[in-house]
Amino acid sequence: MTQNMTITEFLAQHLQGEHSGALNAILDDITVAVKQIAIAIDAGAITGNMGSLATENVQGEVQKTLDVLTNDIFIEAIQKSGYVAGMVSEELIDPVNLTVKNGQYLLCVDPLDGSSNVNVNISVGTIFSLLKAKNNQPELNDFLQAGTQQICAGYAMYGTSTMLVLTTGNGVNGFTLDKTSNDFVLTHPNMQIPQETTEFAINMSNYRFWQEPVQRYIDECLQGTEGERDKDFNMRWVASMVAEVHRILVRGGVFMYPSDAKAKMGKLRLMYEANPMSFIVEQAGGASTTGLQRVMEVAPTGIHQRVPIMLGSKNEIDRVAIYHQKKSKRK
């Protein structure tokens, strides 16, 4: 892989198999959408798009102007290839059937994850997951496929630079937007998550609501060299999943949004947050669990269902899973 090759050159060289033609076209549309979203976010404060709307999304979360704007950008861009028959979005109650020529794929997308960070200028992102469609008139149930069925997953990160990180099942590669050429170029080939880490990311304010295995794991991290783990840990919490996952891909770590007494199924959504991020993390040598099973093996029951998720450096996630199994055995 030549450093700084464009994403188009990279995909032409590396996409193989039955999906390669469609993936080339779909990913081209996604890069167009991401470039437009990056411009919209960058100019948000200037164009007056930093505010909130009077509307809520299906999750009951107040929608930001940019949530709706980025969703519209995606819907328009993703129709160009003609391969995507339907789209599920965090911002829409029902799937959107797209007017397509030969739609054979389904897209699940969180157009602007972490959008509450936009007006405080903290990194946000877009997360997407691609599935095979049964036909070009998809029903809601056609989207309800386990994460192991994903054809492709990726995220865009609108941070100190705009990046696109992708997997199609043969490893993970990162591309940075070169603003002079307006092209994504390969800057992070074959991303691998270190198996070990001393860094965890979790919203500590929920401590009293967590189940015992999560409290035990975090307690041991906090005890550092004075406790069971005999090493000190560092903590991060950006409140933007894309930024947390990207940091983990670059230097290791764990990200945890477990189920708790407040949110029995956790906070993050399976189809367009947990599954795509789990696909990427596993392809980079990491692991992703609900505590009781591999996230990508969860059988979906709803397009907006939530799922507990703990992902990152494999040895740490394996430890978290063991703590959950021991607890369920004790029960």
The binding site for ligand P6P (CB under 6 A) comprises 113-114, 116, 203, 239-241, 267-268
Q: Which is nearer to ligand P6P, 113 or 183 (CB)?
A: 113
Q: Which is nearer to ligand P6P, 123 or 168 (CB)?
A: 123
Q: How far is the CB of 201 from ligand P6P (least distance, A)?
A: 8
Q: Which is nearer to ligand P6P, 229 or 267 (CB)?
A: 267
Q: Which is nearer to ligand P6P, 238 or 321 (CB)?
A: 238
> Do 214 and 252 touch, CB atoms closer than 8 A?
no
Q: Which is nearer to ligand P6P, 105 or 257 (CB)?
A: 257
Residue at token pair 């028959």: 85
Q: How far is the CB of 268 from ligand P6P (least distance, A)?
A: 6
Q: How far is the CB of 221 from ligand P6P (least distance, A)?
A: 18
**Residue 7 and residue 31: Cα distance in Å, rounded?**
9
Type of residue at 90: E
**Residue 327 and residue 12: Cα distance in Å, rounded?**
48
Q: How many CB atoms lie within 10 A of CB 201?
A: 24
Q: Which is nearer to ligand P6P, 92 or 268 (CB)?
A: 268
3-state DSSP: the chain helix, strand, coil percent, rounded to 5? 40, 25, 35
Angle between helices 241-251 and 275-283 (to 10 degrees): 10
Angle between helices 314-330 and 212-223 (to 10 degrees): 130
Q: Which is nearer to ligand P6P, 8 or 305 (CB)?
A: 305
Q: Which is nearer to ligand P6P, 110 or 183 (CB)?
A: 110
- Please report, in angstroms and rounded to a whole number, the separation of the first and last CA atoms in the chain: 51
Q: Which residues contact 21 (CB under 8 A, 6 or more apart)?
A: none
Q: How far is the CB of 147 from ligand P6P (least distance, A)?
A: 17
Structure tokens given for 251: 């230097």
Reduce the DSSP state of residue 256 to 3 states and report it.
strand
Q: How far is the CB of 77 from ligand P6P (least distance, A)?
A: 22
Q: How far is the CB of 187 from ligand P6P (least distance, A)?
A: 23
Reduce the DSSP state of residue 282 to 3 states and report it.
helix
Reduce the DSSP state of residue 38 to 3 states and report it.
helix
Q: How far is the CB of 170 from ligand P6P (least distance, A)?
A: 27
Q: Which residues contact 49 (CB under 8 A, 6 or more apart)?
A: 40, 43, 65, 66, 69
> Do 269 and 143 touch, CB atoms closer than 8 A?
no
Q: How far is the CB of 79 from ligand P6P (least distance, A)?
A: 26
